[in-house]
């Protein structure tokens, strides 16, 4: 049984078929990329597998449990956590405080309790864990920086750090390098690799930047016109004629 599985997933909006009969299996510890030209159905697919859309048919399973149609907070508590292109940060709190708060939000604690805290012993443990995450991900110098004072790239990194604070087994990243310069992209790629290598977190990412996906992912699924066009290693995808034809005229080449 696969760690994370998508089976015959279909989503229709009225007469429009946005995703059609897509299947995919992701193994534990894998870094999987999902790519495709503009309009390929990537966003719909990601919203389906992360619980933000309910499929018209088909199902998504995580650790053997069906999660399609399940509330997103319940999916997160099972260990499958999603990030967004615009991370939901607490702008008037520091980097360290944001990561500490994120730990509490993975429990049944209210947002108020997550922010003010009551249990001194628990708060000490939470702070220690937050420091470990922030420092490990290379943000030690920004511990005490307010989230709204961070650059775009650092805000995206903080969003990933907050997701990691919830102790996910599956991390779903929505275009993690969107809007970044080459240096910021390299930092994010290194961060994702470190998260998998140190904590064994499985990563599923949707990304438009072909070079990033080719350098980061062990296996790639290609969508086109809402259907799965191809799947394989980066080398397989580079040489796949159907993929090359799908990307002709697109902004990114298959390199």
* Domain locations along the chain: 1-79+168-254, 88-166
Q: pLDDT at position 87, please?
A: 79
Q: Is the pLDDT of residue 246 over 50?
A: yes
Instruction: Encode burial over 67-92: b for 16+ CB neighbours within 10 A, e otherwise.
Output: bbebeeeebbebbbbbbeeebebbee
Instruction: Return the closest-CA partner of residue 35 out of 248, 171, 212, 241.
Output: 212
Over range 129-142, report the average pLDDT. Answer: 93
pLDDT cut 90: percent of the chain above it: 78
CA dist 188 and 192 (Å) reads: 6
* More reliable by pLDDT, 6 or 113: 6
Q: Which residue has the higher pLDDT, 17 or 84?
A: 17
Which class is domain 1-79+168-254?
Answer: alpha beta
- Residue 103: which pLDDT band, with cuts at 50, 70 and 90? confident
Per-residue pLDDT band at 146 (split at 50, 70, 90): very high
pLDDT, mean of residues 64-86: 92
- Which range has the worst mean pLDDT, 8-22, 55-69, 73-87, 111-125? 111-125
């Amino acid at each position: 049984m696969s760690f994370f599985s998508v089976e015959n997933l279909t989503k229709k909006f009225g007469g429009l078929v946005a995703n059609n009969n897509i299947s995919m299996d992701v193994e534990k510890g894998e870094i999987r990329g999902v790519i495709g030209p503009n309009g390929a159905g990537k966003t719909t697919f990601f919203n389906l597998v992360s619980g933000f859309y309910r499929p018209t048919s088909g199902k998504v399973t995580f650790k053997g449990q069906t999660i399609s149609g399940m509330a997103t907070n319940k999916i997160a508590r099972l260990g499958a956590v999603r990030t967004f292109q615009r991370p939901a940060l607490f702008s008037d709190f520091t980097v360290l405080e944001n990561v500490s708060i994120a730990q509490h939000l993975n429990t049944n604690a209210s947002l108020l309790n997550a922010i003010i805290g009551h249990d001194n012993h628990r708060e000490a443990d939470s702070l220690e864990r937050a420091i470990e995450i922030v420092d490990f991900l290379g943000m030690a110098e920004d511990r005490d920086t307010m989230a709204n004072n961070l650059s775009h790239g650092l805000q995206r990194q903080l969003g990933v750090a907050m997701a990691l604070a919830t102790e996910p087994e599956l991390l779903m990243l929505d275009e993690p390098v969107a809007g970044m310069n080459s240096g910021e992209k390299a930092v994010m790629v290194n961060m994702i690799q470190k998260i998998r290598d140190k904590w064994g977190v499985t990563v599923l990412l949707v990304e438009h930047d072909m070079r990033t996906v080719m350098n980061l992912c062990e296996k790639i699924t290609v969508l086109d016109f809402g259907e799965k066009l191809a799947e394989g290693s980066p080398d397989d995808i580079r040489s796949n004629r159907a993929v090359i034809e799908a990307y002709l005229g697109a902004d990114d080449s298959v390199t």
